[in-house]
Chains A and B, each alone.
Chain A
Amino acid sequence: MSQDARFGLDKKVRLLGPLPLESGGELTPVEIAYETYGTLNADASNAVLVCHALTGDQYVASTHPATGKDGWWTRMVGPGKPVDTDRYFVICANVIGSCMGSSGPATINPANNKPWGMDFPMLTIADMVRAQALLLDYLDIVRLHAVIGGSMGGMQAISWTTLYPDRVKSAVIIASAARHSAQNIAFHEVGRQAIMADARWRGGAYYADDDPPSSGLAVARMAAHITYLSEAGLTEKFGRRLQDRDSKTFGFDADFQVESYLRYQGITFVDRFDANSYLYITRAMDYFDLAEAHGGTLAHAFTGSKTRFCLISFDTDWLYPTSESRRIVHALNAAGAAVSFVELSSAFGHDSFLLENPEMNRIVDGFLKAGDAR
């Protein structure tokens, strides 16, 4: 099995689909860039799908080709880690709409052999999940031992349990929500407007002369980054400290460390992310409301579910606060599903799920191992 050409790092597949989309129409072909880690066992029962967040990618536990940095969740995924690649066959795929090799606005539209740009169809979280299901079909994996994700990854994970209840044994949903709140949508709209207000955006048709709206995208990232941190975390990290200077300059340079940090976050982000992808994916998240598809009652989404659920929230996460996780938990209780939930304490807001947190690791480890026996 380990010699299988479908498995390994930096893989890419072009699937014919077609993938029917919620916005109407369909996507074909569907290109999916993905990585696998570990060995698929003989009965293909040890597969764990890791779903990434808004600006994440398939490089969950390997070096990122653009930044040279470690994978984004090496604390959680790897040999001996809770998502143990010695034990599980781990898959992570770039979501469609993104820009790391899967079909998205920067890839080529077969109709005219030009980059899709704004002609790329509108996507939803469910569309992303259905594309992942196509990938699993291609990999001959019928049933996942577990699906796991944080933030938008959690939205995909929970969608997996409702779209393909028979294909998911366990689901881990971290720092996530079953819907986007008005506040969530509002912050995303700020980011999108920043991109569209950049004169270089040009209706999304900026690929030909390689002159992307990086100023707008950087501002979008800066605004979003604030929502990933907590007030206490920002204060602890930066306070009112000045950046490389002894006194205020009475100008608009980055006098404060927090300004310098945000600018850096914005500038480095544009090197690895496509502005149009940012538009499409934030929109998909805004459209997300799991209850909507089930008559407005979230519990109905989980009727008869045999999946085991584990939800984790963080007390300083104000982007997807504990109340949103608790709403899912109450719906799962109402549906009689097997659910575990814990709110963990961390100073670092929404980003906590990406950071070192021994308690989170212990819970995920125990939850996944308990699933092995079943």
Chain B
Amino acid sequence: MTKLRPDLQIIADNIHPKSRVLDIGCGDGALMAALRDQKQADARGLEINPANVAAAVSKGLSVVQGNADTDLSAYPDGSFDYAVLSQTLQTTHRPDVMIKELLRIGKQAFVSFPNFAHWRVRMALFFGGHMPVTRLLPERWYDTPNIHHVTIDDFRALVRDGNYTQEQQWFLSGDKQTGHAMANLLAEHAVFLLKT
């Protein structure tokens, strides 16, 4: 059993057994496989990269090749207990519409994203004068799929403006969980659990 990415581990730990889960941007299905094997969950996935889809399907997972921006409309309202969007929000065309879709399809939604207000990002921009290239944001400004960088405070504002309920939040620095205090400055990565 390979180790899950830290944000996925948080999500896996907090999903109720035997839930129905839609993992949007599921990659090669690592989270789905963990949920299936450890939580007896009925997990489904959506993934844009065909090689990742092939890898997931050959593990026996139900994964559909598609685009989160265009292919979610086929899923009925409330058809999943959880919708999961890990490290994908910042690549979507309209993150606000995406959150709305997640909470239409899922009764609850996990969203994880790299925090663009982390002090290292701020330093890189402030002192370097360049768009930051960091461990969690390794691409350059022109070839990055991350078209909507977001900070923890920005995300909280989106949750507030959308009148969503923030059930839980977790913050990561390195691969370790970190405190809520000054998370917008100190956390590299955030995981939120939302509901309508």
Chain A interface residues toward B at CB < 8 A: 308, 310, 326, 329-331, 333-334, 336, 338-345, 359, 362-363, 365-367, 369-371, 373
Query: Does B66 make an interface contact (CB < 8 A)?
Result: yes
Partner of A334, one of B60, B64, B76: B76
B60 and A370 within 8 A (CB) = yes
B50 and A345 within 8 A (CB) = yes
Q: How far is the CB of A158 from chain B (nearest CB, A)?
A: 16
| Per-residue contact bits, chain B 71-83, to A (CB 8 Å; 1 contact, 0 not) | 1001110010000
Name which of B51-59, B142-150, B171-179, B184-192 contacts chain A.
B51-59
Task: Give Cα A202 to B50, complex, Å.
Answer: 50
Instruction: Give the chain A neighbours of B79 by CB distance below 8 A.
Output: 336
Total A-B residue contacts, Cβ distance less than 8 Å: 66
Beyond known contacts A341-B65, A342-B53: 8 more, CB 8 A cutoff: A326-B71, A339-B44, A340-B56, A340-B64, A362-B58, A367-B60, A369-B60, A370-B59
B57 and A366 within 8 A (CB) = yes
A333 and B64 within 8 A (CB) = yes
Task: Give Cα A359 to B64, complex, Å.
Answer: 15
Instruction: Give the chain A neighbours of B59 by CB distance below 8 A.
Output: 366, 370
Query: Does B111 make an interface contact (CB < 8 A)?
Result: no
Q: How far is the CB of B58 from chain A (nearest CB, A)?
A: 3
Task: Give Cα A362 to B53, complex, Å.
Answer: 11
A363 and B74 within 8 A (CB) = no
Do A366 and B50 contact each other (CB < 8 Å), given the known contacts A326-B66, A333-B75? no
Query: Does B85 make an interface contact (CB < 8 A)?
Result: no
Which of chain A's residues has its CB closest to B72's CB?
A333
Query: Does B62 make an interface contact (CB < 8 A)?
Result: yes
Q: How far is the CB of A336 from chain B (nearest CB, A)?
A: 6
Query: Does B11 make an interface contact (CB < 8 A)?
Result: no
Q: How far is the CB of B32 from chain A (nearest CB, A)?
A: 11
Query: Which chain B residues in 91-111 approach chain A with CB under 8 Å?
Result: none
- The interface centre, meaning the residue of A336, A342, A343, A373 with most chain B CB atoms within 10 A of its CB, is A342
Q: How far is the CB of B73 from chain A (nearest CB, A)?
A: 8
B65 and A342 within 8 A (CB) = yes
Interface of B is mostly: mixed
Which of chain A's residues has its CB closest to B57's CB?
A340
Q: How far is the CB of A34 from chain B (nearest CB, A)?
A: 29
A340 and B74 within 8 A (CB) = no
- The interface centre, meaning the residue of A333, A334, A371 with most chain B CB atoms within 10 A of its CB, is A333
B62 and A342 within 8 A (CB) = no
Instruction: Give the chain A neighbours of B21 by CB distance below 8 A.
Output: none
Which of chain A's residues has its CB closest to B45's CB?
A340
Do A341 and B58 contact each other (CB < 8 Å), given the known contacts A334-B74, A336-B76? no
Which of chain A's residues has its CB closest to B46's CB?
A333
Task: Give Cα A308 to B60, complex, Å.
Answer: 10
Instruction: Give the chain A neighbours of B76 by CB distance below 8 A.
Output: 334, 336
Instruction: Give the chain A neighbours of B50 by CB distance below 8 A.
Output: 342-345
Instruction: Give the chain B neighbours of A331 by CB distance below 8 A.
Output: 74
Query: Does B183 make an interface contact (CB < 8 A)?
Result: no
Instruction: Give the chain B neighbours of A370 by CB distance below 8 A.
Output: 59-61
Task: Give Cα A154 to B66, complex, Å.
Answer: 21
B62 and A340 within 8 A (CB) = yes
Instruction: Give the chain B neighbours of A342 by CB distance below 8 A.
Output: 50, 53-54, 57, 65
Instruction: Give the chain B neighbours of A365 by CB distance below 8 A.
Output: 58
A341 and B60 within 8 A (CB) = no
B57 and A367 within 8 A (CB) = yes
A310 and B74 within 8 A (CB) = no
Can you give 24 contacting A-B residue pairs, CB < 8 Å? A310-B57, A326-B66, A329-B66, A329-B74, A330-B71, A331-B74, A333-B64, A333-B75, A338-B44, A340-B53, A340-B61, A340-B64, A341-B64, A342-B53, A342-B54, A343-B50, A345-B50, A359-B54, A362-B54, A362-B58, A363-B58, A365-B58, A366-B57, A370-B61
Task: Give Cα A331 to B79, complex, Å.
Answer: 14
Q: How far is the CB of A148 from chain B (nearest CB, A)?
A: 14
